[in-house]
Amino acid sequence: MRSGTEQPWYATLPGSGPGPSVRWTSPAFEAELRDWVGGVLGGLGVDLVSLEPVHQRPWSTVWRAGTSDGATFWAKQNCDHQSFEATLLVVLDRLAPHRVVPVVAGDLERGLHLVPDQGPVLARTVADDDVDAWCRVTAEAMHLQRDLVGHEPDLVGAGLTTLRPDESAAYVEARVESLAALPQDDPRRMADDVAQRLRDLLPDVAVWGEEVAALGLADTLVHNDLHANNVFATADGMRFFDFGDAVLAHPLSALFVPLNVLLHRFEAAPDDPRLRRVADAALEVWGDVVPVTSLRSALPAALRLGRLGRAESWLRVTATLTPPEAAEYGDAGTWWLGALGDEPPLS
C-alpha cells in the first residue's frame, strides 16, 4: 500500500526533453549505429554491407541492415520515455520466445535493439476485411498475455508503467490537473471545458475500474498498438513486435486498439457481429479462468479504460518533440484522454 506521502508515478507528467529526431538524422548517429550493428553482426560471422533509415518518426528510428550473406536485420531506437522497449523485448524473448520477434542483440543502456527480418507483416498478407485473421491476432495476443501471468516483476523491471483498473479514476484526475495547468501555448494543454467534463466523469471511471477489476484477472502486458502491421504470421504462429507503446494493464483493455481499428475500417457500428467475433475469439482464451459471459459483460468498461493506455503512450511521446513536431502531434495524448467518455468500439 502506498504511504501517505508517497506520490503515484502519474502525479506528474513525463519529463520534457529535446526531440531525438534531430540526433537520429545526424551523421554522428548513423556512424554510432553503424559501429554497433556492425559489431553485433561481426560477432555472428557476417559483415554489414548496407544500413539505411526506413522509418524516421518523432518517437522512434528504424534502420534496415543488409549483410554479406544476403540477410536483413532491423535496428531500432525509441524516444527516451519509450526506450524501455529494448529491455522489454529481451525479457519477452526469454519468457515467451515463440510469440515475439527474436532479439539478436540489445544495448539496454542506449535502448537499441536488433532483430532479424521476419518477412512481410500480416497486413500485407491478408485482406483488410479478413475477420478470421483478426480473430487469430487477438486470440494469440491473449495467449501471449497468459504466458506472462505471474511475471509482473519482470515486466515492471523492464520498464512497463502500470495502469491498474482500480487506479483509473486517480490516474485521470492527476493527468487532467497536470494538463489543465500547462501554459496556454503548450499544445498538450487541456482546455478548461474538457478538463471539467473529465472531472465530472470521474465517478463513472471509478465504476468502470471496479467492474473490470472484479473479474479477478491479473494485470499483464498490453501491447497498446495491436494491429496487423505489428505482427507476423509465421509457420510457427503469430509473432508480435513494436512494444514501444506497451503498458501493464488489465488484459481485456488490449482489445481497444484492434476493435477501434476495425470499427473504422469496416465503417461499422459498435454492435457489428464482425467485431463481436473478433472479441469473442480473444475472450475465449480466458474462458477457463472467468466465464465468457462475465468477460463480455465487463468488456465495454475495459475498452473505455483502453483509451488510457493510448493517452499515456502519447504523453510519453509528446514530452520530447521538436517545435514543429509538437505543433503536429503535441495534443495527441490530451485528445485521447478527452475521448474517455466516448462510446467504446464494441457495445
CATH code at position 264: 3.90.1200.10
CATH number, domain with residue 102:
3.30.200.20
Q: What does the pLDDT read at residue 1?
A: 46
Q: Which residue positions in the chain have pLDDT lower than 70?
A: 1-5
The residue out of 117, 148, 182 marking a domain boundary is 117
Residues 195 and 342 reside in one and the same domain: yes
Residues 192 and 90 reside in one and the same domain: no
**Residue 294, domain member (yes or no):** yes
Burial status of residue 202 (CB atoms within 10 A of its CB: 0-12, 13-18, 19 or more):
middle
Residues 151 and 208 reside in one and the same domain: yes
Which residue range(s) make up the domain with 93? 18-117
Residues 164 and 274 reside in one and the same domain: yes
Give the tens place of pLDDT for each residue, 323-346.
999 999 999 999 999 999 999 999
Q: What does the pLDDT read at residue 6?
A: 85
**Residue 13, domain member (yes or no):** no
Q: What does the pLDDT read at residue 236?
A: 85
Residues 300 and 177 reside in one and the same domain: yes
Cα angle value 85/128/340 (rounded, 5°): 55
Average pLDDT, the chain: 97
Residues 93 and 223 reside in one and the same domain: no
Q: What does the pLDDT read at residue 2?
A: 57
**Residue 5, domain member (yes or no):** no
Q: What does the pLDDT read at residue 4?
A: 56
Domain count, the chain: 2
The residue out of 88, 117, 146 marking a domain boundary is 117
Report the half-sphere exposure of 23 (CA within 13 A, side-chain side). Answer: 15
Residues 131 and 36 reside in one and the same domain: no
The residue out of 101, 117, 133 marking a domain boundary is 117
**Residue 42, domain member (yes or no):** yes
Q: What does the pLDDT read at residue 3?
A: 52
**Residue 11, domain member (yes or no):** no
Name which of 321, 322, 318, 323 is nearest 337 in CA terms.
318
Residues 142 and 169 reside in one and the same domain: yes
